[in-house]
Chain A
Amino acid sequence: MEPASSLPPRIAAVALALSLAAAGTAHAQSNVSRISEESLVPIAISAALPVVLVAGAGSIVVTGVQASADGVVWFVENVVDGVKGSIRFAADAVSVTAMAVGTVVVVTVVATGMLLSAAGHVIAFIPNEIGRSLSYNQRVSR
């Protein structure tokens, strides 16, 4: 569970923190933040999004991108009502660092989590518990 105290109070008041903290082994490898090396879809390790988006489909706009040694955080805002939220990624997801502020992202809820799309392509995946169990990527041979 994303701790509410890590969010600004206004966000915490309106956002539903998804229980998306990385589960041990699935994120033990440095390259597991992409669902596939070919498809290059980064996987969020935690997210706090407006309830209305978690319940169905909608759009958010990226209002800020903050990179640190711990990872990258997108600050987002619901297009309809301006409610704010955030999505956190592992540090090695290059494409999330390069996300342009102002990008409108379509949120689609599926059985395994939430798909974030822009310009017709999936740019990130926020897995729920089922989605996390399905995702792993480790190169065994050199």
Chain B
Amino acid sequence: MSRVRHWLRTLTGAAGLAFATIAGAGQPCDTQPPDSYTMTRALGLAERVQQSLDSSGARVVIVARAGQDLTKYGLQWSHLAFAYRDDPSPGAMPAALPAPISPLLGQISDQPTALPLARRGTWRIVHKLNQCGTANAAVFRQGLAEFFLDTPFRYEAAYVVPDLEVQAALLRTVVDDQRLVQWHTPAYSVVAYPWSTRYQQSNQWALETLAGSLDPAAATRERAQAWLQLHDYQPTVLHIDALTRLGARMTRANVAFDDHPNSKRFSDHIETVTVESMFTWMQRMQIAGRPTVVR
């Protein structure tokens, strides 16, 4: 009996360690309010990120946080989101402000343009959150403070600025609640397979939403994944052994492996969408620059 208990304890411990959350948005259901030190650090980071984003000149970026220690997987960042500047709509602007003009065609453009600071809106985050470690997740629009208040492992952030065309495409999505859920599946697994639609983790939602925003034909999750394969997106490969997989499946509602092909799963080869893989792919595609780190 004690052997069984020891085995179970080992299994549970391994699972807990390994699945702190790859996608970083597995929120513990902790109703304890933060202490003032924690909250001061989170608010401070949110303010520094806001200043950095303001000075970037971008209208939409992809921002990552370090919610968990994933260094054993060679990962620095755990969870990503879109951040966009919620500027007043053109209709709300004074008539004296010139309409944005495309430098190439002389036509009205919906690409991001420079606005006077005083007319700039605030930065908003849109991302997918798995709350309380359940098997479900939802899409949220939040402030930078909320984004960094989820007890991060490190008070640091990284963001990449997409090129103007990508920003324009993303902007149409991030302000539109219907489009934000177009590529969303509530069923959540922290290690969801990138080429299956059974589950979806947070970073995968962001990646598929990006794909769908860039190509109108990628209007469903299946088509967004096909577009990503066509454009050579490469997920991160995690090496997770059978004992750890079993322990995680037994003890965590938000971990599942049955969406992974058997051949990969049984060779401990678990592919999933990570911040690093998305940043790397965007640079390789030349649709975003190098990450900027804010501490």
Q: Which residues of A contact B (CB under 8 A)?
A: 25-26, 35-41, 106, 108, 110-113, 115, 117, 120-123, 125, 130-131, 133-142
Residues of B with C-beta under 8 A to A136:
122, 124, 141-143, 146
B147 smallest CB distance to A (angstroms): 9
Q: Once bound together, how far apart are the Cα atoms of A33 and B32, in whole Å? A: 17
Q: Which residues of B contact A (CB under 8 A)?
A: 27-36, 39-40, 43-44, 46-47, 50, 86, 122-124, 126, 131, 138-146, 149-150, 177, 180-181, 184, 186
Residues of A with C-beta under 8 A to B34:
39, 41, 121-122
Overall SS of chain B's interface: mixed
Contacting pair A140 B177 (CB below 8 A): yes
Residues of B with C-beta under 8 A to A35:
145-146, 149
Q: Once bound together, how far apart are the Cα atoms of A131 and B141, in whole Å? A: 17
Q: Besides the contacts A131-B145, A141-B184, what 16 more A-B pairs have beta carbons closer than 8 Å?
A: A26-B143, A35-B146, A36-B145, A36-B149, A38-B27, A39-B33, A110-B43, A122-B33, A125-B39, A130-B47, A133-B50, A136-B143, A138-B141, A138-B142, A140-B180, A141-B180
Query: A112, A125, A136: which has the most chain B beta carbons within 10 Å?
Result: A136
Contacting pair B44 A141 (CB below 8 A): no
Instruction: Name the one of B40, B139, B142, B150 contacting A141, with C-beta atoms under 8 angstroms.
Output: B139
Can you offer 10 A-B residue contacts whose CB atoms are under 8 A?
A36-B145, A39-B34, A111-B44, A122-B39, A135-B143, A135-B146, A137-B141, A139-B138, A140-B138, A141-B139
Which 10 A/B pairs are nearest by Cβ-Cβ distance? Answer: A136-B143, A134-B145, A133-B122, A135-B143, A141-B139, A140-B139, A121-B33, A138-B141, A141-B181, A112-B43
Residues of B with C-beta under 8 A to A26:
122, 143
A98 smallest CB distance to B (angstroms): 13
Residues of B with C-beta under 8 A to A131:
43, 145
Contacting pair A40 B33 (CB below 8 A): yes
Residues of B with C-beta under 8 A to A140:
126, 138-141, 177, 180-181
A134 smallest CB distance to B (angstroms): 4
Q: Once bound together, how far apart are the Cα atoms of A37 and B140, in whole Å? A: 11
Q: Once bound together, how far apart are the Cα atoms of A127 and B158, in whole Å? A: 25
Q: Once bound together, how far apart are the Cα atoms of A37 and B86, in whole Å? A: 22
Contacting pair B140 A139 (CB below 8 A): yes
B25 smallest CB distance to A (angstroms): 11
Q: Once bound together, how far apart are the Cα atoms of A122 and B32, in whole Å? A: 9
Contacting pair A137 B142 (CB below 8 A): yes
Contacting pair A111 B35 (CB below 8 A): no
Contacting pair B32 A121 (CB below 8 A): yes
Instruction: Name the one of B47, B149, B177, B184 contacting A39, with C-beta atoms under 8 angstroms.
Output: B149
Residues of A with C-beta under 8 A to B126:
140
Q: Once bound together, how far apart are the Cα atoms of A41 and B139, in whole Å? A: 21
B125 smallest CB distance to A (angstroms): 8
Residues of B with C-beta under 8 A to A133:
50, 122-123, 143
Contacting pair A111 B146 (CB below 8 A): no
